[in-house]
Every structure is written in C-alpha cells, then in structure tokens.
Amino acid sequence: MNDFSKIRRLFTEIVGALESQKLLNYLGLKQIHNIQGRTRKGIDLFGNPFQQYSDEYAEWKEKRGLPANVVNLTLHDIDGMMHQIDHVLSPDLKSVEIQILDPSKRKLASYHDQTGAGKSRVIRRFWGVSEEDQKGLGEIVEHDLELLLQRLSD
C-alpha cells in the first residue's frame, strides 16, 4: 500500500468517525429532548398521564408558588433533575448513553422511575425510549444513511 492509499484510508476513517460522532450526539440530544418534553407535559414513558401528586405534596408546592396541577417531576426549573440529563458517547464512537450525571439527581430519578417516590412510593415511569421515540430516532438514522449513500454515489 502506497503512502497516498494510507492517507486516503486514514482520512476516510476520520471522516467516518466524525460523522458517527455527529449522529450520536444528535441522537443523544434528541432523546434528552424527548424525555424532558413528555415529562414536562406530565406523560409517562407509555403515553399515559402521571399519577397526581398527593394532596399533601400538592399543597406544599402551591405554598411555594409552584404549580401542582400538572405532575411533571419538576421542582426547580434551573437546577432540577430534568436539567441534569446529559449524554455521553462511548470511546469507540459506536453508542451513546443518556444519563443523569449528578449522583443526587440520579438517585431522585430512580425513586420516581423505579422504586417509588414519596410516602406512598408512587412510580412514575419517565426514563427510557418509548415506541414513539424509537420511531423518531430510527427516522433520523435512516435519513442520515440516505444522505451518506447519496454522497457516496455522487
């Protein structure tokens, strides 16, 4: 293999890695948007409304000027659990993981999503990829592949 072939192969690998990184970042951001968007609307992973807050907790929120009529798992708009969601690419640029980086917010999220929050241990499943999310993410990947194939055929 001559030097030009080596450089060409290396350049192709770099471009491929950059395209992969770009797509994975986009998919990660899109899924964060999906989770935050449906949660803000009070909708769970399966498209159902969240169970209402207990009367005691709703009263507590209202006394602090916070809305209690929509269950959206948001206590603080700026520093709350929903704004601690981020994504991390794997070192090999083959996958992306959505996670809550702040350990205390991650623990709070597990209460809401897995073990149950509050005295009555209510589970409100907000974390994950819904069927609708899968469809939307799949369309993004499909579109990206179509663009790549189009560039290769030009």
pLDDT tens-digit profile, the chain (154 residues): 666 666 666 656 655 655 788 889 999 999 999 999 999 999 999 999 999 999 999 999 899 888 888 898 887 777 789 999 999 999 988 889 999 999 999 999 999 999 999 889 999 999 999 999 999 999 998 888 787 777 767 6
Contact 40, 124 (CB under 8 A): no
- Residue whose token pair is 């609307």: 41
Environment class of 54 (CB within 10 Å of its CB; exposed 0-12, middle 13-18, buried 19+) = middle
Q: pTM above the 0.85 mark?
A: no
- Determine the pLDDT at residue 128: 95
Instruction: Determine the pLDDT at residue 12.
Output: 60
pLDDT at 74: 84
- DSSP label at residue 54: P
